[in-house]
Structure 1
Amino acid sequence: MEPVIIVGGGLSGLSAAHSVLEHGGKVVLLDKKQALGGNSVKASSGINGAGTESQARLNISDSPQDFYDDTVKSAGPELARPHLITALTSNSAPAINWLTKNFGVDLSLVSILGGHSTPRTHRGTGGAPGWAITSTLMKKLVAEEEKPEKRARILKNAKVIKLLQTENKVTGVEYEDGQGQKLKLKGPVVIATGGFGADFSPTGFIATHRPDLVQLPTVNGDHATGDGHVLVTSLPSHSGVLVDMNQVQVHPTGFIDPAQPEAKTKFLAAEALRGVGGILLTKDGSRFVDEMEKRDFVTAKMWEVIQNGNGPVRLVLGLQAATELKSHCDFYLSKGLMRKFANLGEVAEDMRVSPKEIQSTFVAHKSYASGHEKDPFGKTYFRNSDIDIEESFLVALITPVVHYTMGGVLVDEQAHVLDASGKPILGLYASGEVIGGVHGKNRLGGSSLLEAVVFGRIAGENAAKLE
């Protein structure tokens, strides 16, 4: 019995691996790095689910249809692919249930992020949800590898350099181990190599498809260079195709580290920070956008501010918001990415603005939240807005960063990789950020971890049937 070969050890590859095992197959997971996890371990806002037990417990009304509608709106009418969005949203609650019931992951808290019509982004009471989920699946796969049945193998420092193909069927991979030796494995293949958000080489995917973004910093690890995209499109016959490659998500909030402001790789300031009530300010202490708008919209408004000479932009949290997201904030503070001030007066002094002016911003925001006045930027969702200016504040300098690549390998709703004619390439599947077309022009926050789990599970199940 040939194993299913999974290329990539982030959340999607791990989800595919566990799905293969659940359906009776064997699995070999390869990752080019020394450690598994990829970008998944960095994800800090949560994972979306519509119609979940956590939502029901919190009396949050939601449905897969509502989630579908929000995703279509975010993707844009010209790029929305209903069959892929349906797969993502209809499998969201089962994905959350799978993580909580099968792996014991805590996803009991639910918040709202930009572009969502209701709270549906799940996280636990501990640290960053990406790490909590991914590390749990990692540990369980290591435990599976140690079982006497030997149904799971993990190969690190193993870079896949070629997909093996017989006629129109993918039959395995060729990879290079840590000593530079070339080896082959036979079996159906799941590509879960992530995106290309760190591919800044002169002939790389960003330079080719979005040269305007080459100068931006990124929050991606150095592994995110589009390896899977190259593998799938380099098959000698019936190769895969790429779609939406110019659709690169620039996240509005990457931390500017005061110690190294010009660093190309930056930490992401989680969207959850705005979800719990963080607000964005220009250099003079004014708001300029609905902080809960979609990422592409907030980014565009930030560019306007910066280009008009009104930067840098600051992200500011009052005490209640900081307390709600304490584990995140403690981490950011420990890294020097956020600064704590005793009160709003100290913030004003640091920004070199009038305390009266910045105070008026918070007074107005509180009035909009209470419904006494309408927010001029259209904000309707407020949290922790009753801010005491004499209590402590957390402040960070932020900048737009290359975050996520919506474009990638063309697949169907069953995670089959498709050729140029739209036909499945036998023996080849893909899942996670490497696939294209799920999010259209803009990915909703909380849908990256979801995409990884949903399509990883689908790919693993279907590949297990072939082995």
Structure 2
Amino acid sequence: MSTSDSKRTVIVIGGGLAGVSAAHTLLQHGASVVLLDKKPSLGGNSVKASSGINGAGTEAQKANGIEDSVEAFIDDTTISAGSTLSRPHLIQALTSNSSSALSWLTSEFGVDLSLVARLGGHSIPRTHRGKGGAPGWAITSALIKKLEQAENAKVLKGAKVVRVLQEEDEKSGGRVVGVEYESVDSQGEKKAVNGSVVVATGGYGADFSGFLTQFRPDLLSLPTTNGDHATGDGHRLVLDLAGSRKGVLCDMDQIQVHPTGFVDPANPTSKTKFLAAEALRSVGGLLVDSAGERFVNELDRRDAVTEKMQQVIEAGKAPIRMVMNVKAYEVLKAHCDFYLAKGLMKKYPNAQALTEDTKLPLETLSKTFNAHAEFASGKAKDPFGKTNFDNAEYSVDETLFVAEMTPVVHYTMGGITIDAGAHVLDADGQKIPGLYAAGEVIGGVHGKNRLGGSSLLEAVVFGRLAGENAAKDA
């Protein structure tokens, strides 16, 4: 077993947005970084995130004439989290650091976050993206590229951490002092790196035989948007710490089922689905059942839209489809062109062509489109409570973009218990010295439901907090 020593070295486990945010913050505070990721490439689920990143009181909001505040963001997040599971100290940390997090991304890494949209559950438009493709890719790839060129950062891919190391004497308080890992090509040889540790390994949304079976067996029949890396590795590492100084998990049964995953016509039974970004609905996409009727406020919270979709499916009114008009398509052209190229979305010259292909009743579609236009104009009130209408006018005679949707396991709100500074806590609520966590691996930030746009934000905010505090500790 070989060992690498440095008084100022901090180890980051995981190369998604939380991990690389922590790594850059560590470098900015003078520490050296060793980042380990079990996969052959960095990015995790972060590179897939396609709706945007939330921020309150940002320069982009001001440039677009949008008035927002941390207090309004706190209110929306608290309502979404629910009264019994909301944790004010974590929500405060997430929201109050949001504007500075976005400024950091734009100023330090040149990420374009100039466009702002309103997603479900938000009272104010605050979800930022750029003019190009998926914001998760744009943000995460920029940070990865710069990290891999950094002098004091060592990135080890194909390196799976199997144990977090602790000091054994009582005076140390179980301080975390390093990790033990195995390289994919090392035939089981274990190596060690010494230093404080930031756990940023992501969630457990693909851990069907493990945590999902344990905490939510009712979801095992659903597909997932998660890559095969999302198996709760960091959760287990923290649980496996020695004695009383081991981490604890919270809210492990709180798993977000996203309402809209693409059903691929070429492989409809695939267990892994592409996510249909919530942004598609925020710009005007409509959800209709097999009769061509709307059944939900498309911009309600994710848990509410999912519940309505599951009711439609149970009533035998599937498949559910998302329909977009040309104006909505043009706002998210890069997204939609990708979906079209993948065969996940189909373009129809008019509703008649759609009817011939899918058997959706033309007359019902026409009524649905006309009613939606009346709701948008204020002539009538939407029975589902929709109040925000962008690109709302649909016509059966114009081009339509259509895709089949299904609910998907998307995000795990449960995870490692931390404080507002990203320190990992033990069962007594005490900090475990030398151990930090950030990103989807942490629990308690979102309660029972995560708002769209807050996953990338959580990664950056708590990644930066973990990096800053770990640097002080190194």
CA distance in 2, matches of 1:199, 1:79: 23
The one of 421, 444, 447 aligned to 1:437: 444
The one of 354, 367, 370 aligned to 1:347: 354
CA distance in 1, matches of 2:123, 2:144: 33
- 1:349/1:355 contact within 8 Å kept: no
**Structure 2 residue aligned with 1:227:** 233
Deviation of 1:345 (Å): 1.9
**Structure 1 residue aligned with 2:81:** 75
CA distance in 2, matches of 1:89, 1:418: 21
* 2:186 paired with 1:185: no
- 2:365/2:396 contact within 8 Å kept: no
Deviation of 1:386 (Å): 2.0
Deviation of 1:330 (Å): 0.2
* 2:121 paired with 1:115: yes
Deviation of 1:354 (Å): 2.9
SS at match of 2:149: helix
The correspondence of residues 270-309 of structure 1 with structure 2, limited to 5 A, is 270-309=277-316
Instruction: Could you tell me which runs of 5 or more consecutive residues in structure 2 were left unpaired when the two chains were aligned.
Output: 1-6, 169-173
- 1:340/1:392 contact within 8 Å kept: yes
**Structure 1 residue aligned with 2:371:** 364
The residue identity in structure 2 corresponding to 1:78 is T
The correspondence of residues 258-407 of structure 1 with structure 2, limited to 5 A, is 258-407=265-414
- 2:82/2:447 contact within 8 Å kept: yes
- 2:22/2:463 contact within 8 Å kept: yes
Deviation readout 1:198-250 (Å, 9 max, x if unpaired): 0011xx00000000001110000000000000000100121000000000000
The residue identity in structure 2 corresponding to 1:112 is R
Identity of aligned residues (%): 63
CA distance in 2, matches of 1:259, 1:355: 25
The residue identity in structure 1 corresponding to 2:338 is F
Deviation of 1:352 (Å): 1.4
CA distance in 1, matches of 2:136, 2:361: 40
The one of 423, 431, 438 aligned to 1:424: 431
SS at match of 2:405: strand
**Structure 2 residue aligned with 1:51:** 57
- 2:366/2:395 contact within 8 Å kept: no
**Structure 2 residue aligned with 1:194:** 202
CA distance in 2, matches of 1:103, 1:239: 36
The residue identity in structure 2 corresponding to 1:169 is R
The residue identity in structure 2 corresponding to 1:75 is A
CA distance in 1, matches of 2:268, 2:90: 39
The correspondence of residues 56-67 of structure 1 with structure 2, limited to 5 A, is 56-67=62-73
- 1:11/1:452 contact within 8 Å kept: yes
Deviation readout 1:441-462 (Å, 9 max, x if unpaired): 0000000000000000000010
The residue identity in structure 1 corresponding to 2:162 is I
- 2:36/2:159 contact within 8 Å kept: yes
Deviation readout 1:71-95 (Å, 9 max, x if unpaired): 0000000000000000000000000
**Structure 1 residue aligned with 2:32:** 26
- 1:55/1:120 contact within 8 Å kept: yes
**Structure 2 residue aligned with 1:6:** 12
CA distance in 1, matches of 2:393, 2:222: 35
* 2:129 paired with 1:128: no
- 1:284/1:351 contact within 8 Å kept: no
* 2:160 paired with 1:159: yes
- 2:52/2:127 contact within 8 Å kept: yes
- 1:278/1:318 contact within 8 Å kept: yes
**Structure 2 residue aligned with 1:174:** 180
CA distance in 1, matches of 2:112, 2:182: 37
**Structure 2 residue aligned with 1:254:** 261
SS at match of 2:421: coil
SS at match of 1:143: coil
CA distance in 1, matches of 2:98, 2:373: 34
Deviation of 1:353 (Å): 3.4
Structure 1: which 4+ aligned runs deviate by more than 3 Å? none
CA distance in 1, matches of 2:254, 2:221: 17
- 1:320/1:387 contact within 8 Å kept: no
TM norm structure 1: 0.98
CA distance in 2, matches of 1:431, 1:134: 15
The residue identity in structure 1 corresponding to 2:287 is L
Instruction: Could you tell me which runs of 5 or more consecutive residues in structure 1 were left unpaired when the two chains were aligned.
Output: none
